């Protein structure tokens, strides 16, 4: 999934505001799903794994 840099940056900023998601967890989610935008468009169950 290819995303616009500015678009993904907004999702990265939003990800920093999610309770109980720190830097390491955010990085792991981005590695798993490909982008910060993909995290917000994924099913919630992936967050619990």
* pLDDT given at position 42: 85
Closest CA to 8 of 25, 33, 28: 33
Say which DSSP state 21 is in: -
Largest CA distance in the chain: 28
Closest CA to 39 of 49, 29, 48: 29
Instruction: State the Cα–Cα distance between residues 37 and 14, nearest whole angstrom.
Output: 10
Output 7 or 12, whichever has higher pLDDT: 12
* pLDDT given at position 34: 92
Number of domains in the chain: 1
Given a cut of 80, whether residue 48 has pLDDT beyond it is no
Given a cut of 90, whether residue 14 has pLDDT beyond it is yes
Per-residue pLDDT tens over the stretch 17-44: 999 888 999 999 999 999 999 998 887 6
Range of the domain at 14: 5-48
Instruction: State the Cα–Cα distance between residues 27 and 37, nearest whole angstrom.
Output: 13
């Amino acid at each position: 999934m290819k995303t616009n840099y500015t678009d993904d940056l907004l999702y990265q900023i939003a990800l920093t505001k999610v309770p109980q998601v720190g830097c390491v967890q955010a990085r792991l989610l981005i590695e798993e799903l490909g982008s910060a935008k993909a995290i917000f468009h994924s099913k919630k169950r992936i967050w619990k794994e």
